Amino acid sequence: MKEYIERTAALDICQKEYEDRLRMADYCGDTVAWDIGGAIKGIPAADVAPVKHGGWIVSEVNFGYCDIIQKEYTAKKYTCSECGYETGDQAEKFACCPICMACMDKEAADED
């Protein structure tokens, strides 16, 4: 699996190495740090999208009295906290919202 890093964090490491080598008068290390920094700057930026995080908001829907089952019929409704997509009981099986692709890893909130 590919790993992505922040280019500025890598360049900060090179800058620190460069400054440390200058203090030690080690100009060979100085050149190496600059070469590495130049190589990092030349790497094309990764085309990645930020990850959205959401959770299922659980609520209960009352459909009223059902003559067939002879009682009040209620069901759970799940709403995506990011885009408002609503679905039924199968939402607990989704690791992410099928509409906005938010990862459903936030704590679920109950709404009545």
Indicate whether 60 and 104 sit together in one domain: yes
Separation in Å, CA 103 to CA 20, 29, 82: 42, 44, 10
- Phi-psi region at 101: left, alpha or beta (left = phi > 0; alpha = psi -120 to 50): left
Q: What confidence score (pLDDT) does residue 26 get?
A: 62
Indicate whether 66 and 105 sit together in one domain: yes
Indicate whether 36 and 60 sit together in one domain: no
Indicate whether 103 and 57 sit together in one domain: yes
**83 vs 29, which has greater pLDDT?**
83
Residue 1 lies in a domain: no
Residue 2 lies in a domain: no
Q: State how far the Cα of 28 lies from the Cα of 7, in Å rounded to an integer.
A: 23
Indicate whether 66 and 103 sit together in one domain: yes
Tens-place pLDDT, residues 56-98: 898 888 878 877 778 887 888 889 999 999 888 777 778 889 8
Residue range of the domain that includes 70: 53-110
The total domain count for the chain is 2
Residue 48 lies in a domain: no
